[in-house]
C-alpha cells in the first residue's frame, strides 16, 4: 500500500466508466490505492463498433492480467495494416502486432465488449460498490487536503464526494475539462463524416487485415473484430465509410452519433466492387449504421489543476485515424498509476503525469488532423490524382516507410522502443 498525502481513507474519485476510467480503476487497485468510479449512465451497455488496441496498450492490459486468453474472446489479433488506392492497387502494407516483431499483439475489438470486460473485472476485483452508476460528475473544488467532486444523480439530486484526487475520464463532453478550461473553444470538426457499422463477412487478405481503401477524402476502412465462425467462415467485419465535405457551416446535424439509413450515403460508394471486396455489399449487410462527424478538440496547455487530472478523451479526444484513442486512454491510466507509485497520491504525481504526456499527446492530436497514417493517401492524391500503375514511381518505398516510421514514433508505438521499455507500473 502506498503512502498517501491525504487521510488514507480518502479514495481517488474517477469520473467516467469508459475504457479510460475502468483502466484507471484497475491500475489503482493494482497499486493498492482505493478508488470509486462515478459513471453518468444508469446502465452500462456494450455500445460502439470496432476499435484497435495498439501493442503499447495491449502490454498494459497484459500487465493488468488481461492477456490473450481473455482478449481473444472479445476480439482478434491484427496481422496487417494496408492502404489500397481507389484503383484497387496496393499503396502500402506492413505487418502488425506479433507479426511485426512486437512482444504484444495488436487487437481489433468491439469497443463495447472491451468496456464490459473491464467493467466486469473492476467489479470482481474491487467489489460491487466500486462503480456507481447514474452519477454524473458536474464539477469539482480543490482543497488543501483533498478534492470535492460535485455529483448529480439520475433522479436530479445533487451531492458531493470527497477524495484524495479526481481523475476525469468523462470523455468528449467532459464537464471537468469545461471547468478546468472555461475558455476552451467548441468541438472542432474538419469536414469528414463517417458512417460506421458491422457486417458478417469473409475476412480479406491475411484474414486479420486493417484495410484503408480509396483517397484521403473519400475512403472505406474495414477490418474483422472477431474470429470467423467455424461453421460459416464469416467474421464480424467492422467498417467505416468516410467522405470529407465543406465544413464552413459547421456540423448542422446536431447529433454526434445518429442512426442513419444506408440509402442516405451508399451512393458515395456506388461501383466500389473490386472482386476481392464489394464495398456496396459490405455496407448494405449492416443491420445498424451510425453517422459520426470526425471531431476533436484543440489541445489545452495542461491536463491538471491541483488534485484533478484529465485522462483519455477528456484530455485529448483525437481523430480516429491512427487507431489510438482507446489505446492512449489505457496508457494514460498506466502512466498516471506509475506517477502515483513514485510520488504518492498527491498533486506532485499528477504534475509528473502531465509533464510526461500532455505536450506529446497534444502534438499527436494536431498530427492526426493531418490524417495521421492516412496522410500517405494524400501524398498519392497530390502526386498522381490517386491513379497509378506502379506506386514506386509515385511515392518510393523508402519514402512510404519513412512516413509510417515517423507516425509510429510520435504515437508511442515504435517497435524497438516499446519492446525494450520496462513495465510502466511496477508490480
Ligand atoms: C457510447 C460510446 C460509443 C463509442 N463508440 C466508439 C466506436 O465505435 N469507435 C471508436 O473508435 N470510439 C468510440 N467511442 C470513443 C472511445 O471509446 C474513446 O475514444 C476511447 O475509448 C477513450 O475512452 P474514454 O474512457 O476516455 O472515453 P469514453 O469511452 O467516451 O468514456 C467516457 C465515459 O464517461 C461517461 N461520462 C460522460 N460524462 C460523464 C460525467 N460528467 N460524469 C460521469 N461519467 C460521465 C460516459 O458515459 C462514458 O461511459 C465511443 C464512446 C462512447 C461513450
Nearest CA, atom 19, ligand 1: 325
Q: Is the pLDDT of residue 7 over 50?
A: no
Mean pLDDT confidence for 417-424: 94
For ligand 1, mutation pick of 170, 173, 225, 368 (most atoms within 8 Å of CB): 170
CATH 3.50.50.60 fits 12-74+107-186+300-371, yes or no: yes
Convert the pLDDT of each residue in 339-398 to its tens digit. 999 999 999 999 999 999 999 999 989 988 877 788 888 888 889 888 888 999 999 999
| pLDDT recorded at residue 254 | 56
How do beta strands 106-110 and 50-53 pair? antiparallel
Rounded distance, CA 139 to CA 130, Å? 20
Atom of ligand 1 nearest to the CA of 315: 26
- Summarize pLDDT for 206-226 with one digit per residue, the tens: 999 999 999 989 999 999 999
What is the distance between the alpha carbons of residues 181 and 57, in angstroms, rounded to a whole number? 28
User: In terms of DSSP H, where are the helices of 40-148?
Assistant: 55-63, 68-71, 111-126
Evaluate if residue 6 carries a pLDDT over 80: no
Task: For residue 90, give the nearest of 414, 376, 408, 404 by alpha carbon.
Answer: 376
Q: pTM for the full model? A: 0.94
Q: Which of 25, 12, 317 is nearest to 140 (CA)?
A: 12
Please give the pLDDT value at position 5. Answer: 43
β-strands 235-244, 188-201: how paired?
A: antiparallel
Minimal CA–CA distance to 25: which of 37, 10, 42?
37
- Give the full edge-to-edge strand order of the sheet including 147-153: 135-142, 147-153, 158-163
Q: 111 C-alpha to center of ligand 1: Å?
A: 9
Q: What is the largest CA-CA distance in the chain?
A: 68
Residue 312 near ligand 1, beta carbon < 6 Å: yes
Which residue of 13, 15, 16, 119 sits with most ligand 1 atoms within 8 Å of its CB, as the best mutation to test the pocket? 16
* Cα gap 145→349, rounded to integer Å: 15
Residue 336 alpha carbon to ligand 1 centre in Å = 19
DSSP E strands, 127-233: 131-133, 135-142, 147-153, 158-163, 165-168, 188-201, 209-215, 218-224
Distance of CA 363 to the CA centre of its chain: 16
Place of cell 447529433: 255
Quick one: which of 181, 163, 153 has its CA closest to 362?
181
* Distance in angstroms (rounded) separating the CA atoms of residues 87 and 386: 8
Q: 3-class SS at 112?
A: helix
Per domain, the residue ranges of the chain are: 12-74+107-186+300-371
Q: Residue 123: pLDDT band by 50, 70, 90 thresholds?
A: very high
Whether residue 78 is predicted with pLDDT greater than 80 in this model: the reply is yes
Closest CA to ligand 1's atom 35: 16
Which atom number of ligand 1 is nearest to the Cα of residue 196? 8
Q: How far is CA 419 from the centre of its chain?
A: 21
Rounded to an integer, what distance in angstroms lies between the CA atom of residue 80 and that of residue 129?
Answer: 41
256 band by pLDDT with thresholds 50, 70 and 90: low
| Ligand 1 center to 171 CA (angstroms) | 5
Reading the block at residue 278, the C-alpha cell is 464489394
Q: Assign 2 a pLDDT band (cuts: 50, 70, 90).
A: very low
Collapsing DSSP to helix, strand or coil, 396 comes out as coil
Kindly tell me if the per-residue pLDDT of 158 is higher than 60.
yes
Within 8 A by CB and 6+ apart from 254, the residues are none
Q: Are the C-beta atoms of residues 68 and 77 closer than 8 Å to each other?
A: yes
Give the separation between CA 374 and CA 395, rounded to whole angstroms.
Answer: 14
Tens-place pLDDT, residues 400-420 = 999 888 877 776 678 889 999
> Which of residues 137 and 320 earns the better pLDDT score?
137
**CA torsion 39→171→244→369, rounded to 10°?**
-160
- Cβ neighbours, 10 Å, residue 88: 13
Q: Quote the pLDDT of residue 370.
A: 77
Closest Cα to atom 10, ligand 1: which residue? 51
Ligand 1 binding pocket includes 332 (Cβ within 6 Å): no
Mean pLDDT to the nearest integer, 165-192: 94
**Grid cell of 258 as nine digits:** 445518429
The reply to whether ligand 1 has any atom less than 6 angstroms from the CB of 169 is yes
The torsion angles phi and psi of 423, rounded to 5 degrees, stand at -55, 145
Amino acid at each position: 500500500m502506498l503512502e498517501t498525502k491525504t487521510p488514507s481513507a480518502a479514495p481517488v474519485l474517477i469520473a467516467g466508466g469508459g475504457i479510460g476510467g475502468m483502466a484507471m480503476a484497475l491500475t489503482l487497485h493494482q497499486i493498492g490505492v482505493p478508488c470509486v468510479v462515478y459513471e453518468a449512465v444508469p446502465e452500462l451497455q456494450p455500445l460502439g463498433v470496432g476499435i484497435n488496441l495498439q501493442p503499447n496498450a495491449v502490454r498494459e492490459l497484459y500487465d493488468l492480467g488481461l492477456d490473450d486468453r481473455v482478449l481473444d474472446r472479445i476480439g482478434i489479433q491484427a496481422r496487417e495494416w494496408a492502404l489500397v488506392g481507389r484503383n484497387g492497387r496496393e499503396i502500402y502494407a506492413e505487418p502488425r502486432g506479433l507479426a511485426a516483431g512486437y512482444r504484444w499483439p495488436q487487437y481489433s475489438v468491439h469497443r463495447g465488449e472491451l468496456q464490459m470486460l473491464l467493467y466486469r473485472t473492476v467489479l470482481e476485483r474491487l467489489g460491487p460498490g466500486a462503480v456507481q452508476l447514474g452519477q454524473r460528475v458536474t464539477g469539482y473544488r480543490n482543497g488543501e487536503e483533498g478534492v470535492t467532486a460535485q455529483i448529480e444523480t439520475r433522479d436530479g439530486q445533487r451531492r458531493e464526494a470527497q477524495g484524495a484526487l479526481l481523475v476525469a475520464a468523462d470523455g468528449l463532453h467532459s464537464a471537468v475539462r469545461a471547468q478546468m478550461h472555461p475558455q476552451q473553444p467548441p468541438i472542432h470538426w474538419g469536414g469528414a463524416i463517417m458512417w460506421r457499422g458491422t457486417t458478417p463477412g469473409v475476412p480479406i487478405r491475411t484474414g486479420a487485415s486493417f484495410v484503408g481503401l480509396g483517397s484521403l477524402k473519400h475512403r472505406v476502412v474495414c477490418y474483422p473484430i472477431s474470429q470467423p465462425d467455424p461453421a460459416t467462415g464469416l467474421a464480424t467485419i467492422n467498417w467505416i465509410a468516410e467522405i470529407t465535405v465543406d465544413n464552413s457551416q459547421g456540423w448542422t446535424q446536431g447529433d454526434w452519433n445518429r442512426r442513419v439509413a444506408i440509402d442516405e450515403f451508399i451512393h458515395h460508394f456506388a461501383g466500389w466492387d473490386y472482386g476481392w471486396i464489394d464495398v456496396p455489399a459490405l455496407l448494405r449487410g449492416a443491420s445498424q449504421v451510425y453517422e459520426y462527424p470526425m471531431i476533436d478538440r484543440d489541445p489545452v496547455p495542461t491536463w491538471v489543476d491541483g488534485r484533478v487530472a484529465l485522462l483519455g478523451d477528456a484530455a485529448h479526444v483525437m481523430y480516429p485515424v491512427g487507431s489510438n484513442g482507446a489505446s492512449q486512454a489505457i496508457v494514460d491510466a498506466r502512466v498516471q498509476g506509475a506517477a502515483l507509485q513514485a510520488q504518492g497520491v498527491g498533486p506532485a504525481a499528477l504534475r509528473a503525469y502531465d509533464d510526461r504526456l500532455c505536450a506529446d499527446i497534444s502534438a499527436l492530436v494536431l498530427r492526426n488532423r493531418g490524417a495521421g497514417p492516412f496522410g500517405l493517401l494524400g501524398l498519392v492524391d497530390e502526386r498522381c490524382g490517386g491513379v497509378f500503375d506502379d506506386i514506386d514511381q509515385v511515392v518510393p518505398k523508402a519514402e512510404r516507410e519513412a512516413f509510417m516510421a515517423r507516425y509510429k514514433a510520435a504515437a508511442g508505438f515504435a517497435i524497438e522502443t516499446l519492446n525494450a521499455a520496462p513495465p510502466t507500473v511496477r508490480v
